[in-house]
Each structure stands twice: as structure tokens, then as C-alpha cells.
Amino acid sequence: MKIKRHAKILEILDQHAIETQEELAEKLKEAGFDITQATISRDIKEMKLVKMMDASGRYRYSKYRDEAVPVNERMMNVFREAVTHIDYAGNIVVVKTLSGMAHAAAVTVDLTEWSEIVGCLAGDDTIFILLKTEQTAMELVSNLKKYIK
């Protein structure tokens, strides 16, 4: 049910200016989902939705507009095969790979054209990716994690 509810939430946010979680709960109830504000709070966290001021000066929940890292088929394959762990510290993202695979994985990272990536260095089983800010490092981790395991 959670999946369907999440889909419905996106639909509702696109169609109505939702200012509070209670309001969203209302709409969901109208749509036949019987849930409480607590669940909405968890959904919002999980779905990475955000509350921000809109053009009319009021608050509004909306999708976070994610600047996705452009990935290609090769990168997806290499990551699925070779990457074991991804994390970051400050503005550096650290990618751990199976032994000897770091170089191959790093090449695919180099090939992306994400302007926030300053540079990328591979050892035997570790890659350091230098980003412009911690904020973007966090986003890169979030993006890359989709492709591992």
C-alpha cells in the first residue's frame, strides 16, 4: 500500500497547493487512503519531499528537484558488479570497490559530466571523488547508491 500511497502523494502535490501534512492527510483520505499525519511525516522523509515558500509567499510541499548525475549503461554495470560501499566526508566521496576494480569504476565516474565533480582518483579498491561542496557530495552519494548491490 505504501507504494501506491507514495504515487498518490506525488499526484496530489502536483495538483494541489499543500501547506501542511494534515492537509495532505485529508486529501489522501478522500482518495481512500486511511492514514494519519505520522505516516505522512515518514513518507515525506522517505520520499525526500520538501516544504518551501512558493510564489505566493505561503508554504508548500513539493518534490525536490534533483540534479541527477548522468549515468550510462556502462557505469550502471560496473557499479553493480564492483562497488561495495559508498560514503562521504566533507566534500569528498569515497567509493569502495572489489580489489583491483577501482580504476574501472573511476573511469566511468570521470566520464559523467556532472559539473560539481572536480576530480577523481583511484587506488586499487578505493576511489576518491572530489566535489565542490559537502552538499553536492551528499547528493552524489545519494545518487550513486541507487546503482550498487
Measured from the CB atom, the residue of 18 and 137 that comes closer to DNA is 18
Q: Record the cell numbers describing residue 146, joined without a space.
A: 541507487
Under rule CB under 8 A, which residues in 24-53 are in contact with its own copies? 45-46, 48-53
Instruction: Tell me how far apart the alpha carbons of residues 4 and 9 are, in angstroms, rounded to a whole number.
Output: 9
> CA geometry: angle at 49 spanning 45 and 54, to 5°?
140
Q: For residue 1, state whether it binds DNA (rule: CB under 7 A).
A: yes
Our finding on whether 72 is near DNA (CB under 7 A) is no
The count of chain residues that interact with DNA, using the rule CB under 7 A, is 19
- CA-based radius of gyration for the chain: 19
For its own copies, give the closer residue by CB, 86 or 102: 86
Tell which residue, 46, 21, 50, has the closest CA to residue 29: 21
CA-CA distance, 48 to 143, in Å (whole number)?
13
Contacting DNA within 39-68 (CB under 7 A) = 39, 41-42, 44-45, 51, 59
Closest separation in Å from C-beta 100 to its own copies: 26
Q: Is position 16 an interface residue for DNA (rule: CB under 7 A)?
A: no
